[in-house]
Chains A and B, each alone.
Chain A
């Protein structure tokens, strides 16, 4: 008997039954296919503008920062200014994503760029945000050839370009975007090799339970939020706490 059969057999024996009858297995398959949502907390049930405000407030609460930009033309300047403010060299490694390639970089010729995966020597990286979750100020970064995982992790300063139209209220809505928009070349399903949900910069409280930023991942997380959503530019219904 294989160990697989031994473990499954032990589980069934202790549950006092054999393998599930076909009708029950079909019910469980239907539950997997329907993947029902559970309770979604009310805090993110807001207007578009309210969700954007909640997202920004939560990113800042988790020690990240956000700058709102009118369009992609403002991106090179915003990056150059941020790097200058932080005393960082004007040099970035960026994900080879079409949306990042399409930015009019020529306007800031002094900003050096390399497209590809990040290496340990890179100080600043630029990632493309797939979606974000207002509920906790969380970025969703699924791996793809155009969105390498190392870009999220290796640089000391992580920049992320995010469209305001891609900010959703709850995690469940971000999963639905992934389900709807992504096809995996290997499995035919939607799940990529890796999905990172990132909430603020890396940190550790292992030394005397005192929080320090920049443990192994980035010390700074700065989000460039493109205001491409008309409804999101309205005044939010109430300022989130």
Chain B
């Protein structure tokens, strides 16, 4: 997928001015946060399950070569094929080769972020094969030729009028003056349109939430059932999975599943959690005759043994972005590539380079909310800090920022001077705003004061108050 991550600042400005997006964000945020909180409250063991989930993933990553080989052996025993793909190019070629060999004309697709990473739709289209997204959100994005703006609610940024407009434009065989009385009518129309697509498809492509070494299975989790129809009806099933989806056993997968839906949509369990293992067995009345897994590395193995290894624990639940104050204001498209929000800010620079995506780890207030809701306790803020350091080391940071950081660093390394300077600064600001208690304009901070007033400091600095408080307590004891 083409990246606009270098333009994060411009993207963010546009997002803030986008009335439709802001309406969608305002509507969505309380849903996601409230539902997760309620689900977590309903499971007193949740905190311990998070620790176990983190440990399962750490154990798997430490032995990833062993588990991948064991898993691949079990896939092959069940009549499936594993296509080991080091790069996105390898993966695109492998998918296309399968589709061309079986003479595929249309391909149905379940929701998969890896497929966005590979931009597989564009690749298939260029070779005369029609991909059809079947997740409702992905379907409308395909009609509108837009990328997803969220990893589990890809079209949350659209409002009802956008759906109606896109459906009228795309479904030209239906009466143009038909009325969508309720949201249900939109859903019914999509269901009818896609049912025909499911039945006609030659190949079905899904993602994978987990791979299970013990059984050679791939797991998908959906609420709509589109992923299941995608992998059940066509003659060929292709799974797109990256290497870090691995877990050792069904029991390990079960622990992860107890975390996933609660963290993602706030459900106790998703409607369809499906384990696929190989090809149609003798006597089976349905199911695919071919089962392929495109196993993608694409830069992930290089994260092992580095300060970014923990990121490979991610199970793509979206809790971090659902709770992020930055994502909550700019939405997903501003991040400019496949993965938005805090997890995207850490993952994107590893996959497309810090020169492309160095802006993203800076788009954080370091409030720590993402880490506190992460089901596998990934230290996201710490890793964003590592990226900022790398960006600084490679002189990718703008010179104004570098100069100011150097200035700040000069004082920060000299605590006495730092306290003196902050006392002067606070005193000057306090004097400037002595009448109103706030300032509406400030030199060098026009961007900040353009939208709000700066409350002026009152009384002593933090250090001075802290020191006098310490003295007071010592005096009292």
- 0/1 interface trace, chain B 172-189, chain A, CB 8 Å (1 if under): 000000000001101100
A215 and B156 contacting across the interface, CB-CB below 8 Å: no
A71 within 8 A of B: no
Distance in angstroms between the alpha carbons of A240 and B273 in the assembled complex: 24
Partner of A200, one of B186, B228, B271, B280: B271
B98 within 8 A of A: no
- 0/1 interface trace, chain B 56-85, chain A, CB 8 Å (1 if under): 100000111111111010100111001011
Distance in angstroms between the alpha carbons of A191 and B273 in the assembled complex: 15
A193 and B279 contacting across the interface, CB-CB below 8 Å: yes
Partner of B84, one of A7, A186, A196, A197: A7
**Which residues does chain A contribute within 8 Å of B44, judged by CB atoms?**
41-42
**Which residues does chain A contribute within 8 Å of B134, judged by CB atoms?**
216
A69 within 8 A of B: no
**Which residues does chain B contribute within 8 Å of A144, judged by CB atoms?**
281, 284
B229 and A208 contacting across the interface, CB-CB below 8 Å: no
**Which residues does chain B contribute within 8 Å of A62, judged by CB atoms?**
271
- 0/1 interface trace, chain B 269-302, chain A, CB 8 Å (1 if under): 1111111111111111111000000010100011
- 0/1 interface trace, chain A 145-157, chain B, CB 8 Å (1 if under): 1001110111000
B194 within 8 A of A: yes
B271 and A198 contacting across the interface, CB-CB below 8 Å: yes
A239 within 8 A of B: no
**Closest CB of chain B to A53's CB: distance in Å?**
16
B27 and A208 contacting across the interface, CB-CB below 8 Å: yes
A210 within 8 A of B: yes
**Closest CB of chain B to A169's CB: distance in Å?**
13
- Beyond A16-B305, A193-B78, whether A204 also contacts B65 by CB under 8 A is no
**Which residues does chain A contribute within 8 Å of B198, judged by CB atoms?**
120, 216
Distance in angstroms between the alpha carbons of A102 and B225 in the assembled complex: 30
**Which residues does chain B contribute within 8 Å of A116, judged by CB atoms?**
285
**Which residues does chain B contribute within 8 Å of A196, judged by CB atoms?**
228, 272-275
Distance in angstroms between the alpha carbons of A38 and B199 in the assembled complex: 41
- 0/1 interface trace, chain A 1-42, chain B, CB 8 Å (1 if under): 011101110111011100110001100110110011111011
Distance in angstroms between the alpha carbons of A193 and B215 in the assembled complex: 10
B226 and A14 contacting across the interface, CB-CB below 8 Å: no
Partner of B28, one of A175, A209, A212: A209
B223 and A193 contacting across the interface, CB-CB below 8 Å: no
A199 within 8 A of B: yes
B66 and A204 contacting across the interface, CB-CB below 8 Å: no
- 0/1 interface trace, chain B 4-30, chain A, CB 8 Å (1 if under): 000000000000000000001001100
**Which residues does chain B contribute within 8 Å of A195, judged by CB atoms?**
274-275, 277
Interface-central residue, B27, B74, B79, B278, by most chain A CB under 10 Å: B278
B126 within 8 A of A: no
A14 and B213 contacting across the interface, CB-CB below 8 Å: no
B119 within 8 A of A: no
Which residues, 72 to 120 on A, are CB-close (under 8 Å) to B? 96, 116-117, 120
A202 within 8 A of B: yes
A55 within 8 A of B: no
B232 and A215 contacting across the interface, CB-CB below 8 Å: no
Number of interface residues of A (CB under 8 A): 80
- 0/1 interface trace, chain A 167-196, chain B, CB 8 Å (1 if under): 000011001000000001111010111111
A11 and B64 contacting across the interface, CB-CB below 8 Å: yes
Partner of B284, one of A2, A16, A145, A198: A145
Task: Name B228's closest neighbour in chain A (CB-CB).
Answer: A153
**Closest CB of chain B to A222's CB: distance in Å?**
15
Task: Name B304's closest neighbour in chain A (CB-CB).
Answer: A14
B62 and A15 contacting across the interface, CB-CB below 8 Å: yes
Task: Name B83's closest neighbour in chain A (CB-CB).
Answer: A3
Distance in angstroms between the alpha carbons of A62 and B261 in the assembled complex: 13
Task: Name A119's closest neighbour in chain B (CB-CB).
Answer: B199
- Beyond A38-B255, A136-B268, whether A194 also contacts B275 by CB under 8 A is yes
A163 within 8 A of B: no
**Closest CB of chain B to A24's CB: distance in Å?**
8
A186 and B79 contacting across the interface, CB-CB below 8 Å: yes
Partner of B302, one of A10, A143, A201, A214: A10
**Which residues does chain A contribute within 8 Å of B304, judged by CB atoms?**
11, 14-15
**Which residues does chain B contribute within 8 Å of A51, judged by CB atoms?**
none
B351 within 8 A of A: no
- Beyond A7-B86, A143-B287, A186-B78, whether A35 also contacts B250 by CB under 8 A is yes
Distance in angstroms between the alpha carbons of A200 and B27 in the assembled complex: 26
Distance in angstroms between the alpha carbons of A123 and B109 in the assembled complex: 24
Distance in angstroms between the alpha carbons of A191 and B275 in the assembled complex: 9
**Which residues does chain B contribute within 8 Å of A6, judged by CB atoms?**
84, 86
B439 within 8 A of A: no
Distance in angstroms between the alpha carbons of A217 and B455 in the assembled complex: 56
**Which residues does chain A contribute within 8 Å of B67, judged by CB atoms?**
28
**Closest CB of chain A to B97's CB: distance in Å?**
13
**Closest CB of chain A to B84's CB: distance in Å?**
4
Distance in angstroms between the alpha carbons of A206 and B160 in the assembled complex: 10
Partner of A202, one of B27, B268, B271, B287: B271
Task: Name B194's closest neighbour in chain A (CB-CB).
Answer: A216
Task: Name B291's closest neighbour in chain A (CB-CB).
Answer: A193
B251 and A192 contacting across the interface, CB-CB below 8 Å: no
Can you list 19 pairs linking A and B with CB atoms under 8 Å apart? A2-B84, A14-B304, A31-B249, A32-B70, A35-B251, A38-B255, A116-B285, A144-B284, A149-B286, A153-B228, A186-B281, A187-B74, A187-B77, A205-B153, A205-B223, A206-B155, A208-B159, A214-B191, A216-B226
User: Apart from A42-B45, A198-B272, what are 17 other A-B pairs with CB-CB below 8 Å?
Assistant: A7-B243, A31-B249, A35-B249, A37-B251, A38-B251, A38-B255, A152-B228, A175-B250, A185-B281, A186-B77, A186-B79, A187-B278, A193-B277, A206-B154, A207-B163, A209-B156, A210-B183
